[in-house]
Chain A
Amino acid sequence: MSHHDVVVVGTGLAGLTAAVRLAEDGARVLVLAKGVGATHLSAGTIDVLGYAPERVDRPAEALGALVDARPGHPYALVGAGGVAAAVDWFKARIAAGPLAPYAYAGGVEENLLLPTAVGVARPSAVVPETMAGGDLRRDAAICIVGFRALKDFHPALAADMLTRAGVRARGVELDLVPEGRVDVNALGFARAFDAPAFRAEVKAQVVAQLGVEERAAFPAVLGIADPHGAWTELEHGLGRAVFEIPTLPPSVPGMRVHKSLHETLRRAGGRVILNAVVTGAEHRGGHVSALRIRVGLREERRGADWVVLATGGLASGGIELDSRWKARETALGLPVTGVPEPGAERFRPGYFEDHPMARAGVAVDHGLRPVDGGGERLYENVLVAGATLAGAEPWREKCGDGLSLSTGYRAAELVLAASTAAGAAAGVAGS
């Protein structure tokens, strides 16, 4: 059985963040994951806090008030300072990563307001440089460019909604079809945008249609191999600000994040095994010594000093609920809190109502260690991060990636601090 300093379960933003942070400090890290996680679906923006429940303009300030009001919220485990530190770290890693000079803009002090694909102004704190130009707090008319072959982005609809909210916007649709296919998803277009010839074609078709003052918006498909190059080339070629608007999944900006962090991890000596489903743990008392894993049809065991559990929430299969209302954390079988008793109401009949089980998840203490119903720590060497945590409704609060980034980062810091202390006591450095 192989043994690792840390096994991270899950390769979403929380898992990758923890893994990179640990590997950078010399820990031997293995990431085990069933699939690639929500990064490939999400907007690629690090939303720190958008609604609480009113719209938030200054997330760092609002975070303080949020954790005072809701001590059970996962942000209470990291605090505003912890979020800021994680964001700084993340921005530095992307800027130094394999897609550099592709970088992130913004910070925790204030939210930008970025248009969504239906033209709603959505608050977002830390965003790809390729999206920042869409900030609606700046008053400049927008021309949204789309492609008929890309069914996951409708420029006229977005423009119409923005107009209704007082933004000067209009949409145009191009008939360009990469490789002559009528049905191409966001990733297909991103690959097309990696090619200079396609970019030139787009430029040629768009340039004559733009008004003098307009900024130009595109679906978030401006390149996957070299997004900085594609974006700057369009800005120069069109002579104006150009920005991306997220599409329906798959998410090209999300894939860029995944690719950057994954490569950074590899450079730091960490390893990822995909299609590895963690099915349980072996433990002695409050200490997990090994994980049971299923890779395809093969069963394996892996030993670890530390486990960071970042398996996502219901959306990623980290938590499941069966038809008899039994909820289960799927990797280690940790207790799930926030699920109403059988027979009690789980959901309300109105979609936008407050649903009783919305905040279900794994409860932890301040050391991110999972706890039982009585608040007792279950395992000393297991830390939980990301969407698995109980206490938030990130899709409504607009804080998904902010939570996963900051708790993943925090988990790594806690492991590093604890193993340094242990190492010092035992007279060994790091591991």
Chain B
Amino acid sequence: MPTLQAELLVIGGGATGAGVAWDAALRGFDVVLVDRADLAEGTSGRFHGLLHSGGRYVVKDPVAAKECVAENAILRRVIPDCIEDTGGLFVTTPDDDPAYGDRFLAGCRACSLPAEEIDVAEALRREPRLNPGIRRAFLVPDASIDAWKTVWSLARGASAHGARILPYHRVIDLHREEDAVTGARVRNEHTGEELDIEAGFTINASGAWAAQIAHMAGIEGVGVIPGKGIMIAMNHRLVNTVINRCTMPADGDILVPIRTVSVIGTTDSRSADPDEIPVTQAEVDQMLDDGERLVPGFREARALRVWAGVRPLFQDEKAGAVADTRDVSRTHAVVDHRERDGVAGLLTMSGGKLTTLRLMAQDIVDAMCAQLGAERPCRTHAERPPGNEDGEPYSLGSRLRRREATLQDEQLICECELIGRSRLEQAMRRRGTTDLDDIRRSMRLGMGPCQGGFCIYRATGILHGVGRLDGAEASASLHGFLEERWKGVWPILYGDQLRQARLDDWIFQGLLDVEHLPDGELAA
């Protein structure tokens, strides 16, 4: 059995795990991070895209709100390239109680959140598509944040400090000696090979899967309640500012402009299994009605894609049952298994949100240092991971600007997302991946309005051409891509997106006849 040694094993390559790897590597720990899939393929890649100002929580959950206020400011400083400073508005729609606005403002003050009430006319000037019936509007420092960029930037930063990042390595067992966890057995999901990782310490950052990992160490009762939420991406920036309903948190009350789209969300319902999170047409319908309340005509806009994520809400058994998953606090907690279960060398991160990933990482690595008796201060509030060095915030036009520069001498492979051939080839080489779906996620290839109708054949041809895919893999990859894409579109097929889907049926089935590819069934 091949073996790896490390001081710290991090389980989970989402925002939390990547944050922990970055934090610990900066403190000089020798880190290995594993994820069963690609990085940011769990909840972090399926979230809403909001860098919270804290406004959502000021009335209901002030502790969470204060954390957001502080972390929002720090992240803008250390990962500016992952954040677009859209600003945010809390608006009182005709269906909301205007008096909540006063509680909201008081809450903001109590949490030191810089919020300002502005004229409705001013809000409508800023966002002309907003419901003209709104009665109050408050400006807050919300922003949108690119989780994929964030996670990869942190992971690359950790690598630069010696960490080994192993995507597609699933933990199948934890090693336990006496009263301590001493590492894990992992399986390479591409080759099937198994590997032992001997680690002085293990941090369980597997989000909604945390109870499954704890169970492998013989620890029971770590209550993670998967709280499912759905989101729909619309084809345009219907708004350029994050729009929140000014009410107690409810379904479908936030619209986030991110990159070229805007995302409406979300719902919150209990889900039994974090790997089974189907989206229903009824949920989609509800989300569209909610969107209509914020931006009239929402239903006429083109829906691009729908997806669901699972919140890793934490509820320890002792605290009893909860009725509504939205009532569980959004702050995080470090579960110390030495204290709780008498098992040393293992900490579990529970709860939290993407906005507070840095603080969560700091808290859990501090706890590890305390258990190890090591004195190594956290540095993540002052260091910029790769890609963010110049301190420039992301802006929507930057991609187009880059693209314009090479317009004459480069093939455009994906017209929707402006991806040129050299960038695609570079990504293929850098990631060393043979999976079209990895490329899709990392470059947003096939995620624009045409849903891959054109670029997927092209990308397959290019991947095959640079020797990354053989015929069998190309078949499997095409089929895999089509199935993945379909999952995100079938519940929202109406209007222009249905027309597009039919055109894509004609391209893939009519012109190319992909359903009769040899070995296509490999993907199944």
Residues of A with Cβ closer than 8 Å to B? 38, 41-43, 116-118, 120-122, 149, 151-154, 156-157, 160-161, 163-165, 173, 182-183, 246, 248-249, 313-315, 317, 320-325, 343, 345-352, 394-396, 398, 400
Contacts and interface: CB of A to CB of B under 8 A. Distances in A.
B458 interface: yes
Nearest to B301: A323
B493 A346 contact: yes
B515 A152 contact: no
Interface in B502-523: 502-503, 505-507, 509-519
B6 interface: no
Contacts of A165: 518
Contact of B457 (A42, A248, A394): A248
B411 to A, nearest CB: 4
Contacts of B470: 160
A153 B303 CA distance: 30
A317 B499 contact: yes
B118 interface: no
A248 B510 contact: no
Given A164-B472, A248-B457, A313 B465 contact: no
Contacts of B516: 120-122
Given A183-B412, A352-B515, A152 B278 contact: no
Nearest to A355: B490
Interface string B397-413: 00000000000111111
B461 to A, nearest CB: 3
Contact of B507 (A249, A320, A394, A396): A249
B510 A43 contact: yes
Chain B interface, >50% SS class: helix
Contact of B299 (A120, A160, A248, A323): A323
B464 A120 contact: no
A314 to B, nearest CB: 4
Interface centre among A153, A160, A320 (most CB of B within 10 A): A160
A182 B512 CA distance: 24
Interface stretch (B64-72, B263-271, B327-335, B475-483): B475-483
B457 A118 contact: yes
Nearest to A158: B461
Interface of B: 278, 281-282, 288, 299-300, 303, 408-413, 421, 454, 457-458, 460-462, 464-465, 470-472, 474-475, 478, 482-483, 485-487, 490-491, 493-495, 498-499, 502-503, 505-507, 509-519
A350 B483 contact: yes
B458 A151 contact: yes
Closest 10 CB pairs of A and B: A154-B461, A351-B486, A160-B471, A347-B490, A315-B502, A120-B513, A314-B502, A323-B299, A164-B518, A395-B510
A315 B471 contact: no
A122 B413 contact: no
A173 B495 CA distance: 40
A82 B408 CA distance: 51
Contacts of A156: 461, 464-465
A154 B457 contact: yes
A183 B420 CA distance: 10
A158 to B, nearest CB: 9
Given A38-B506, A154-B462, A398-B510, A343 B517 contact: no
A351 B501 CA distance: 11
A250 to B, nearest CB: 11
A314 B498 contact: yes
14 contacts: A43-B511, A117-B511, A120-B518, A154-B464, A157-B460, A161-B475, A182-B408, A248-B507, A313-B502, A323-B288, A347-B490, A349-B278, A351-B486, A400-B506
Contacts of A400: 506, 510
Given A154-B464, A157-B465, A400-B506, A322 B299 contact: yes
A117 B458 contact: no
Contacts of B457: 117-118, 152, 154, 248
B495 A321 contact: yes
Nearest to A160: B471
Contacts of A396: 509, 515
Contacts of A161: 471, 474-475, 517-518
Given A315-B502, A325-B494, A395-B502, 18 more contacts: A118-B460, A120-B512, A120-B513, A120-B516, A153-B461, A154-B457, A154-B461, A161-B471, A161-B474, A161-B518, A164-B471, A183-B411, A248-B511, A249-B454, A314-B502, A321-B494, A322-B494, A350-B483
Contacts of B511: 42-43, 116-117, 246, 248-249
B495 A182 contact: no
B409 A164 contact: no
A351 B451 CA distance: 13
Given A118-B514, A151-B421, A315 B460 contact: no
Contacts of A348: 490
B471 A163 contact: yes
Contacts of A183: 410-412
Contacts of B300: 323
A421 B404 CA distance: 63
A182 B411 contact: yes
B509 A154 contact: no
Contacts of A398: 510, 513
Contact of B499 (A315, A323, A395): A315
A231 to B, nearest CB: 20
Contacts of B461: 151, 153-154, 156-157
A315 B411 CA distance: 27
